[in-house]
A and B are shown apart, each in its own frame.
Chain A
Amino acid sequence: MSGNETASAGQDEPADSDARTALEQNPQGQQLLSRLLHVDFRAGARDSIGILLGLIPFALVFGIAADGAGLSILQTVVMSAGIFAGTAQLVMVELVATNAGLAIIVLTGLVINLRMLMYSASIAPHFTEYGKRTRAYLAYFLTDHVYAVSIGEYANESRDRDKRLYYLGLGVSIWLVWVITTVIGYVLGAGIPASLNLQFAIPLVFLAILVPAIDAYPQLVAALTSALVAIAAALAVSQTGLPEGADLLIAAGVGIGAGVAAEEVMDR
């Protein structure tokens, strides 16, 4: 088991002694700079623009809400930087504002973020070529948006991207803007006029990735089933005690099952 580990880790992460000689010959700063300037890193950063358009108003709202709930600026920044999951953060702040129990807050946060298990499983096959440490820091940036845009890009094999650098270009840009905009919202307390509905840009990005992903009949079955269940489940969340985030988990689960079943029927 440990032999397997070192074999996979050795691919892009040199052993300690190698790293030391590499450091002498090629300063790490230079290596980092060349990675930041890499065409695929920049492509990821560029593809984050659409997401950021929708995410900036969201981050401002979160910063304002955190201030309103009596959180300190340090707590707010650590939440954005460390949890890095908008819906969970906003719901957590709402629960703090209503003086909910601590266990309820933690459990709700977990249920909301459980959907990321699916993202982790879905994107994992693209990361198996990387070492353990690389995978550990890549996992940190796995949000709805980073997952969706990356998986859409990876599906287009003709582009032949460096998967890690593209993902990082996207993830780091979104992370930086998310954290900075949270602070702006907290300090200035100013949002973008709600009537502009800029948050609508986010479902539009997902739609832009979803449409080309439906390339076969079973995929269409999966998407339509999931959409219908999601609408019903969202209604259940707003009217019953079903925790937020559970709706997505249920809908996607049923949709995936429907897709697999449809494929089975077609193969017969």
Chain B
Amino acid sequence: MNGYSMLSIWGVIVAIAVATYLIRLSFIHLFGRVNQVPRRVKRFLKFVPAAVLAALVAPQLVTPSAAVTEMVLDERLLAGAVAAGVAWWRGDILLTIISGMVALWTFQFLLF
């Protein structure tokens, strides 16, 4: 048990679930109604995938540190570099994952 009443936990779960759904629905609903997405908006949307994906990936690969060698010799950064190379070379998701994981395990074994 935790320090909350059963009811308040349920309230929190339902509130977050409903709000999350409405966030997901927002533009899917809106742009469906106007039938065409304004061109000016499209200019911004074009950059969403690259910007979001880079923001999701970068903090997983780099740990900010005062010592540069420590930052560069991070097994996650090195494995990420290998995976990025494979992604650029073959463009295959599964192959990228396999090579990235194998590289991670290899660097972990070598560096520690």
Contacts and interface: CB of A to CB of B under 8 A. Distances in A.
Interface string A141-170: 010100111011001000000000000000
Nearest to A234: B59
Contact of B59 (A202, A208, A224, A247): A247
A253 B53 CA distance: 12
A234 B65 CA distance: 13
Contacts of B104: 197, 200
A120 B17 CA distance: 16
B106 interface: no
A106 B57 contact: no
B78 to A, nearest CB: 12
A242 interface: no
A124 B59 contact: no
B37 A222 contact: no
Contact of A125 (B37, B64, B96): B37
Contacts of B14: 82
A203 B29 contact: no
Interface residues on A, range: 35 or more
B49 A213 contact: yes
A200 B11 CA distance: 33
Nearest to B58: A227
A210 B57 contact: yes
A139 B20 CA distance: 10
Given A118-B52, A128-B37, A251-B51, A97 B19 contact: no
A185 B51 CA distance: 33
B87 to A, nearest CB: 4
Contact of A139 (B21, B49, B52, B60): B21
Nearest to B89: A211
B48 A252 contact: yes
A223 B32 contact: no
Contacts of B32: 8, 124, 127-128, 130, 132, 135
B52 A8 contact: no
A85 B15 CA distance: 14
A109 B19 contact: yes
Given A144-B56, A222-B50, A228-B58, A82 B13 contact: yes
B30 A124 contact: yes
A204 B53 contact: no
A222 B45 CA distance: 12
Contacts of A122: 45, 48-49, 52
A85 B97 contact: no
A180 B13 CA distance: 18
Contact of B51 (A70, A208, A232, A255): A255
Interface of A: 4-5, 8, 47, 49-50, 53, 69-72, 75, 78-79, 82-85, 88, 92, 96-97, 99, 102, 105-106, 109-110, 113-125, 127-128, 130, 132, 135-136, 138-140, 142, 144, 147-149, 151-152, 155, 195-198, 200-214, 218-220, 222-232, 234-235, 247-248, 251-253, 255-256, 259-260, 263
| 3 nearest A-B pairs in the assembled complex, by CB-CB distance | A255-B51, A259-B47, A227-B58
